[in-house]
Amino acid sequence: MEIISQGEVRFRIWAPSSAGMRLRIEGRDDRQMTPAGDGWFELVVHGVYPGARYSFVLPGEKTAPDPASRAQVSGTESPSLVVDPLAYAWKNSGWRGRPWHEAVFYELHVGTFTAEGTFRAAAERLQELAELGITAIELMPVAAFYGERGWGYDGVLQYAPHTAYGDPDDMKHFIDTAHGLGMMVVLDVVYNHFGIYGNYLTHYAPDFFDPERGTPWGPAPDFGRQPTRDFVLENALYWLEEFFIDGLRLDAIDHFVDKPGRTPLLTELGTRVAASFPGREIHLIIEDARNVTGPMELQSDGTRRFVAKWNDDFHHVAHVIATGETAGYYLDFSADPFRLLRRSLAEGFVYQGEPRPTLDGKTVGEPSGHLPPSAFVNFLQNHDQIGNRAFGERLRSTTDPRLVDALLAVLLLSPQVPLLFMGEEFACEQPFVFFCDHPQEVREADYQGRLREARNFGHDADHAADIEGLPDPNDRKTFETSKLDWAAAETPKGRAYRAFVGDLVEARRRFVWPLTARATEMGGRILTQKDGLIAIDWVFDEGKLELRANLTGSSSEVPAVDGRIVHRWPKDATMARTGALELAPYAVCLAAGRHG
């Protein structure tokens, strides 16, 4: 749908498998569309204004929403709405973004971030995040998906914000509010597959998908076909341009498959984004289980098309240290985990070409120490690592909270880009569980799938069916119990923890940002190999960061620092010794200074 002028709209759809297509505008039109070549149909209609409801009608009278719908009347099976993309009056139209090294991420799910579960309600909470020092919001996917509730990774209408969250202007208001508070907004987008339910493309454009390939989650787009390729590329530009989004996090790019002889989709996307938004700070981030470095490598023009990768390695080894869990993929990080944690902090990936036991010895990863620390987004928790547990337990409810505090201090004081999951800033222990709203006939299969998933988190796979009280993902109670309890943030414990996090973020702003702003490589040097201890120096052109941490329950000595200690947790965490520092149990300190 394209507004040509006031009251004049062009409707287009690619339906190569359809003998014809009609356009139905509720209350006024039901007209045959004109073939435009290469499987396209189009029709220009006069007297159509924002708010008009329309659908496409396939032979056999089956109706379908616009695959590029900007808004839906209700769900993905309802009519689409004509939307004026220029109607919203931006208050912060001069916003140009923030430098990447200043990112302190906060991941949130719109539907459970507030009781209302809307963009407007979420916008009301942004002030306190900004006051905490959060500089970047990462939205879990908002593209319209089947049903009322879900995580969003099964979107089928990639251009339309999910109706339950609000309309396009509500989403723009959320972004505008964030910008007014100095915060970037990055959107999680899913191009490796489309959702199964409510996916009408399979009816009239099956060629959109690759018949020889699928994913564990749904049909995979065929990037060898130009209409499919254009749909994805234009969608990325759409969010960045019309919604003023500051960046995109591309989900599971290891499931992208390019056709021989074609420019890789990621390459083309990075090039087009860089060329389309001069003067704006736009940041592209990837998720990729292969630990590849190619997308983040320095280009000939001195820029990086993709600034960072979500670093699951850091999470997995930190989780093993915190909980002792070794089931599922955690097995790969269970042998000498403190050595692996040090390697991740100093070099980026844990696996840089070594065999992984759970992959039958298959080698994974590439050397990563030559990348800047900002090429890695590190986290202790995120939606996947909480919600895919059988009961959605957060880290604090599975281990010693003192160790969690120490690991959070390591996360926020290290030079890599940190990410918090909603509620983590006030020590939330409330579960965040996988939830969905799928058709009735597949709900039992969904439940059985959750039972199988339990094997990755310490439950006996042979007796998974005996897990008592496993939440049913389609039960509305599962969704409701995952809504963030903001009352907990106002308790004495919640306020104290926010102060703890705020102090760490402030230390990061004052002492880490200045040294990492122009860092071109990790520069990490490991100074101790003792179990439970972290002593790493990062040497940059601008100076040196020295992190010392004791992740054990007894006092221990770590190598001394050269620079001035600029942050310590607890406040009396260190005592100087000749040639060493003595750290209290679960203590962390950071020093900064010149090198050489």
What residues pair up with 355 in beta bridges, in sequence order? 363
pLDDT digits (tens, 9 = 90+) for 78-87: 999 999 999 9
More confident residue, 475 or 461: 475
pLDDT above 70: residue 512:
yes
pLDDT of residue 455: 62
Q: In degrees rounded to 5, what are phi and psi of residue 482?
A: -90, -5
pLDDT-derived band of residue 456, with 50, 70 and 90 as boundaries?
Answer: low
Active site residue 424: no
pLDDT digits (tens, 9 = 90+) for 283-339: 999 999 999 999 999 998 888 999 999 999 999 999 999 999 999 899 999 999 999
DSSP of 105-160: EEEE-HHHHSSS-SHHHHHTTHHHHHHHT--EEEEPP-EEESSS---STTEEEEEE
Residues 6+ apart with CB under 8 A from 192: 215, 220, 221, 251, 252, 253, 255, 256
ω into 570 cis (within 30 of 0):
yes
CA distance 488 to 423: 9
pLDDT of residue 60: 86
Mean pLDDT confidence for 388-393: 92
CA distance 162 to 168: 9
pLDDT more than 90, % of the chain: 87
The side-by-side arrangement of strands in the sheet containing 574-577 is 556-559, 580-583, 574-577
Active site residue 212: no
Q: Which two tokens stand for residue 149?
A: 């509730």
Spatial CA neighbour of 187 closest among 209, 198, 199, 171:
171
pLDDT above 60: residue 462:
no
Q: Which two tokens stand for residue 104?
A: 């302190």
pLDDT above 60: residue 491:
yes
What residues pair up with 124 in beta bridges, in sequence order? none
Residue with tokens 């569309």: 33
pLDDT digits (tens, 9 = 90+) for 323-350: 999 998 999 999 999 999 999 999 999 9
The amino acid at residue 251 is D
Spatial CA neighbour of 198 closest among 72, 298, 98:
72
pLDDT of residue 358: 93
Q: Is 73 helix (H, G, I), strand (E, B) or coil?
A: coil
CA distance 579 to 450: 52
pLDDT digits (tens, 9 = 90+) for 247-261: 999 999 999 989 888
Spatial CA neighbour of 590 closest among 515, 521, 529, 522:
515
Catalytic residue among 287, 325, 347, 546: 287
Q: Which two tokens stand for residue 447?
A: 């439940």
pLDDT of residue 453: 76
pLDDT of residue 458: 56
- Least confident range of 31-40, 142-151, 466-475: 466-475
Q: Describe the chain by its helix, strand, coil percentages, rounded to 5.
A: 35, 25, 45
Mean pLDDT confidence for 489-515: 98
Catalytic residue among 66, 170, 188, 251: 251
pLDDT digits (tens, 9 = 90+) for 205-236: 999 999 888 888 889 999 999 999 999 999 99
pLDDT above 50: residue 461:
no
Mean pLDDT confidence for 491-517: 98
pLDDT-derived band of residue 596, with 50, 70 and 90 as boundaries?
Answer: low
pLDDT-derived band of residue 457, with 50, 70 and 90 as boundaries?
Answer: low
CA distance 146 to 75: 7
pLDDT of residue 573: 74
pLDDT above 50: residue 463:
no
CA distance 25 to 30: 6
How far is residue 154 from each of residues 12, 78, 146, 299, measured CA to CA in Å?
Answer: 24, 17, 8, 33
pLDDT above 90: residue 544:
yes
Taking only Cα atoms into account, the Rg of the chain, rounded to an integer number of angstroms, comes to 25
Antiparallel, parallel or unpaired: β 209-214 and 63-64: unpaired
pLDDT above 80: residue 459:
no
Give me the helices (H) in 388-509, please: 401-413, 443-453, 476-481, 492-507
More confident residue, 466 or 492: 492
CA distance 392 to 182: 32
pLDDT digits (tens, 9 = 90+) for 548-576: 999 999 999 999 999 999 999 998 777 77
What residues pair up with 590 in beta bridges, in sequence order? 547, 567
